[in-house]
Chain A
């Protein structure tokens, strides 16, 4: 009897499970046409996120997704290999500054004709510049990031320092250095608390174009005579992206980089190698990072903190950029893939995607919906993005530019001669551009 009951219970459970899966299948099977599978290559934890994808799938029941993920460090290599394969992914989530490089190589599909009405007016100018090539938009963009300078309020108050909280009162680098020195604890170059903490990007070493090219660019002037070194210093690459000679090794850039070198050497207020979580563990007074750090601190406030705008020499500037989304030119379903990408980047789906990670949106209309960015401290990011934001020097050879200039900046931080290193970087980048 007992055995029979158990068998009956098992059968009932199996029937219930079976009927629920049938019901689920019936929900999903509203497709009356041919099923299309879109293959997405992205980094782990990146958009498009499940909620907006499921929402979109309800409107487009014939579309299925196949997602492949690779770590960010291997993303560019993977795209290099897969883009040339006989069956590339339909949708690529890639590092935004590579847009022009991929567009020039014919990897990306132009999306201009798929963009909704009003997109031009709504998109941040820096995002549009970064994601366009020869008059075509190749990625609508979903989120945008930039960097600002976080500070540990407790450590700064102990040192009697009150950093500015608005763009109008932003420090110069000389003023920032005084604050770094006043707050740092212990001997220069091996303190217990650093004035300026190391980056969390890459391997933690200085030199990344995203974060450190702004030193020399801010010594330039975008409104100067286009033939002047001040103008070239600000842009760091010719407008057509074909020349770098005279843009990196300028008197203004060398002056800025001499100061930059002193931070890691003679002044000894910033480390030359990474220290994991230095700022979050109270081992650094100041720290440069994206809104992601602020959102993490808002969720789990480990200490009192604030944000001050990025300091400058002459012209305030911050770099923009994030991963972004595009369609492979050789996708077997270009129209469906383009519709998906554009839909994910517009309206409610864009809001759902951006709100998942807490970075900034690329659409101006979405800013008011993010409460956290309407007041200090996170508003500093929005203000910087709108007032000072510039893409990293856009060009069809950005990846190569990024690598060579990062190497040169890192060598300067390690104590090398700025003029010699930037002159060498100019030659190497020019060789790539000429090839």
Chain B
């Protein structure tokens, strides 16, 4: 055995010994810590991880919720069905478009709002309240309100369009306009949350960096583009991941406003899973869709974290 190896082993042994609660106080602290963590860990285990394992098991079964006792093992058939039939591809496609639309619109608008809220301009408090109200409003209330606003015959939005000479638009009853309408509604509801996150990021930036840039002769725009935005990359990553995951999990707009229609134009994947399990009574297939959704969310989040990884620190 070489000397370095002996040193490494000794060092590792020391670290291992150091981690053990050797004194009575350390032991007591460890028990307290475990006691405080236990309720949450148990809940996490029972309501998050055990259902995930059950879901994975159910994804290879064919059964109805009405009579789960007669579940039949079908191997990977539920997964091959996703390829054979187009419902999964359509639903995932619609969901990706929805997520893309939400992220692409929420991020810049939320950032601009955060810049405004971070400035010394008047009416900041009013704007902060205005953009936060939709965030704390129930999804059911928001959906109901927007259904009235988007009414194709007598809705308020069509009323405004009529005033400027544009004819009535079908909105939620049109295959081409229903998804954009849901994206706009989600943007309205979520932009406040994004803005608050960006505002927290902006207020955490060290002022000396922007001051140094200004002293060096940079304009406000150059400071924003070359200093502020790069330094906010961690916050941006966080907002992008949060908004993407939120969009991939969106359920209320499809359930409450469109029932996935017209012609599956708004058949978001979580609504499709609900529908498949509870209406179509194909709980095994719904579980398989859920497994794929889980993997997709994990993959997208990992990819986003890799692409948007911060190259600057402060």
A313 at the interface (CB under 8 A from B): no
Instruction: For chain A, give the interface size range.
Output: 35 or more
A76 CB within 8 Å of chain B: yes
Residue A10 interfacial (CB < 8 Å): no
B68 touches A416 (CB 8 A): no
Does B67 lie within 8 Å of A105, measured CB to CB?
A: yes
**A residues 400-435 in Cβ contact with B at 8 Å:** 400, 403, 407, 410-411, 414-416, 421, 428, 431-432, 435
Asked if B280 and A407 make an inter-chain contact with CB atoms under 8 angstroms apart, the answer reads no
Distance in angstroms from B288 CB to nearest chain A CB is 14
Question: A226 at interface (Cβ–Cβ under 8 A)?
Answer: no
Query: Does B168 lie within 8 Å of A400, measured CB to CB?
Result: no
Interface 9-mer from B39-47, B146-154, B217-225: B146-154
A42 in contact (CB, < 8 A): no
A359–B262 Cα gap in the complex (Å)? 33
Contact with A along B39-71 (1 / 0, CB 8 A): 000000000000000000000001011111100
Q: In the bound complex, do residue B279 and residue A83 qualify as a contact, i.e. CB atoms below 8 Å apart?
A: no
A77 near B151 with CB under 8 A, answer no
Answer whether residue A6 sits at the interface, using C-beta atoms and an 8 A cutoff: no
Question: B170 contacts A107, CB within 8 Å?
Answer: no
Which chain B residues border A273 with CB–CB below 8 Å? 147, 151-153, 172-173
Q: Which of B68, B153, B281 contacts A400 (CB 8 A)?
A: B281
Alpha-carbon gap, A83 to B68, bound state (A) = 10
How far, in Å, is A337 (CB) from chain B's closest CB?
A: 19
* Complex contact A80–B153 (CB within 8 A): no
Q: B153 — nearest CB in chain A belongs to which residue?
A: A190
Q: Tell me whether B259 and A407 are in contact (CB under 8 A).
A: yes
Contacts of A101 in B (CB 8 A): 66, 281
A190 touches B154 (CB 8 A): yes
Contacts of A428 in B (CB 8 A): 87
Residue B186 lies at the interface, judged by CB distance under 8 Å to chain A: no
**B287 contacts the other chain (CB 8 A):** no
Residues in A whose Cβ lies below 8 Å from that of B175: 414, 416
Give 5 nearest A-B pairs by CB, closest first: A105-B66, A80-B65, A105-B67, A414-B173, A414-B262
Query: What are 23 A-B contacts defined by CB distance under 8 Å?
Result: A76-B278, A79-B66, A80-B278, A84-B66, A84-B67, A101-B66, A105-B67, A107-B66, A190-B168, A203-B259, A205-B173, A272-B153, A397-B281, A403-B280, A407-B259, A410-B259, A414-B170, A414-B174, A415-B173, A415-B174, A432-B280, A432-B282, A435-B62
